[in-house]
Structure 1
C-alpha cells in the first residue's frame, strides 16, 4: 500500500508544465524533485493519454497521472479508474462523422492511440504536438475499450453537441476537440483518485491555463492559474503565478510553501 502523501499537486501540461517550446523548464524539474523529497506527490493532469507522455514521466520522475481529461487515473503505476465510452456511442459518432461532417477521428485509451484515416487534419494536429501520426485503425473501438476520442478539426464541433448529449466536447488545441463521457473531467478523475485511494483528507493543489482545467480548479483546495492562463480560469484561481515561460511552476509552489 502506497504511503499517504502530505499533499498532491496536479499539473496541466500544454501552457502549464510545458513552456512554449513544449519542454519542461529546469526550474520546474528541480521543483518537482523537491516536492517528492517533501512527501508531496506530483501528478500530471492532462488531456493527453498516458502512452503519449511516457518519456515526459521518465524525465520528470512523475509516476502518477490523471489522463485524457480524467478518463483514466494511474497512481504510482496502479490503474485506479477508467471511464470507458460505450461502443455503440462510438459507432454512432463515427458514422455521423463519415456521413455528415467528414471530420476524421482519433481513438484513445490509456495504452494506445489510433486514427480513423490518414488525413491532413491528423498530420496538422500531431505535427503541432511534435508527435508521429498514430497508426490507422477505424475498428479499434470494437477490439478494446476507448476512453477518449478526438475530432480532428479546426471548427465544426458544434454540430455534435445536440446529436450526442451523452458526450462532452472540449476544444483543447486549434486542431482538435476532446470527446469523452458527459460528466467526465479532470476534476472527476481527481475525485475518483482521492476517494479510491483514501486521500480525501490530503490537501490538493492544481496548476492550469485553459478551460479544460476549469473543473479541476473547482475540485482542488488550491487552484493556481498560470500567468498565461485564460481570464475565465484566472477568475477561479486562488493565486495567479508567473507564465509557463518564466518559472511559473516553481514560483507558484514557493508561494504556497510546498518547496
Structure 2
C-alpha cells in the first residue's frame, strides 16, 4: 500500500466531528512504510486543514469540494470550474427553493445569502472561508460546485425534483444527512484521486480509500482497496472491496492498524 484516501464526515470523523487521538502515531507509522495519506471531502480546504496538527497538516493532500480542487501545502495544484452558462443555469434552478440554504463554492470563497447568517454555528462545522452576500450576483469568482443544506427532512424529494430539471451534465448527490452537492458528472473524488495517483506515480492496485456516502462511490471504485463504512449507504457497500466498522467505532483507524500489519 502506497496511498490511503479518506472521506471525512461519516467516515474518518465521528458524528461529533472528532477523531481518535491514535491517528497521529498511526500517521508516523504510515510515513515510515511509505504510505501517503489523502483527505478527500466535499468540504472546503479551510474546513479540512484545521482538523490536523501543525506537524501533519501540510504533508497531506486535500481533494476538496468533491474533487473539484486539489490542494497541497496551501497551493491549488488542480481545479475544475464550471462554465459560465452552466453555472447560471444551475443557479437559477437552485435558488428557487428559498427554504434550503444554497452554498456557491468558489475558488476564493464560499458564498451564502445573508439571510442564513443566523445559522453560522452550523455552517462553520463544514465551511470556514465564507462570504455572506445580499445576492449571488455579487460573486466575482471561479465556481467549483454548489451545495444545498436541507433542514426539513425532505432531501430525497428535493433531489428528485432537481435531477429532473437540471442539465444532465450535472450530478446531484448526497454528501451527508442534510447536504447534497451539484457538480459536473465528469468530475468527482474518483477522477481527482486518479489525477493524484498519476501525479505521484502510484498505481490503483497500490491504493485504498474509505467512504460512506454517494460522493465516495467512484473513489472506492478507483482504487483496488475500497473500504465502505458500516454506516455507508447500500450502493457504496456494494462496490466496496470490504465493509469495515462504523465511523463512530473508529473504523478507519482500526483498518489502518490492520493495513500497517499487511492485512488489507
With the length of structure 2 as denominator, give the TM-score of the two structures.
0.82
Q: 1:148 to 1:210 in 2, by over 3 A?
A: same
Q: Secondary structure at the match of 1:192?
A: helix
Maintained 8 Å contact 1:152/1:176: yes
Residue 238 of structure 2 corresponds to which residue in structure 1? 235
| Partner deviation per Cα, 1:129-154 (whole Å, 9 max, x = no partner) | 37679332344785111111112334
Q: 1:112 to 1:258 in 2, by over 3 A?
A: farther
Are residue 172 (structure 1) and residue 146 (structure 2) matched? no
With the length of structure 1 as denominator, give the TM-score of the two structures.
0.84
Residue 65 of structure 1 corresponds to which residue in structure 2? 62
1:149 pairs with one of 146, 152, 168: 146
2:105 pairs with one of 102, 108, 128: 108
Are residue 25 (structure 1) and residue 20 (structure 2) matched? yes
Maintained 8 Å contact 2:211/2:232: yes
Query: In 1, distance between residues paired with 2:113 and 2:250?
Result: 39
Residue 42 of structure 2 corresponds to which residue in structure 1? 47
Residue 135 of structure 1 corresponds to which residue in structure 2? 131
| Partner deviation per Cα, 1:33-55 (whole Å, 9 max, x = no partner) | 32123221101011112122121
1:138-217 equivalence runs, <5 A? 138-139=135-136, 142-153=139-150, 154-155=154-155, 156-162=158-164, 163-200=166-203, 203-217=206-220
Query: In 2, distance between residues paired with 1:80 and 1:258?
Result: 32
Q: 1:231 to 1:139 in 2, by over 3 A?
A: closer
Query: In 2, distance between residues paired with 1:152 and 1:217?
Result: 25
| Partner deviation per Cα, 1:154-207 (whole Å, 9 max, x = no partner) | 432322223321211112123221111122111011111122343347711111
CA RMSD between the two structures:
2.8
Q: 1:79 to 1:191 in 2, by over 3 A?
A: same
Q: 1:201 to 1:101 in 2, by over 3 A?
A: closer
Q: Secondary structure at the match of 2:48?
A: helix
Query: In 1, distance between residues paired with 2:184 and 2:162?
Result: 13
Query: In 2, distance between residues paired with 1:83 and 1:171?
Result: 20
Report the CA distance between 1:110 and its aligned residue.
4.6
Aligned residues: 252
- The unaligned stretches of length 5 or more in structure 1 are 1-5
- The unaligned stretches of length 5 or more in structure 2 are none
Q: 1:187 to 1:220 in 2, by over 3 A?
A: same
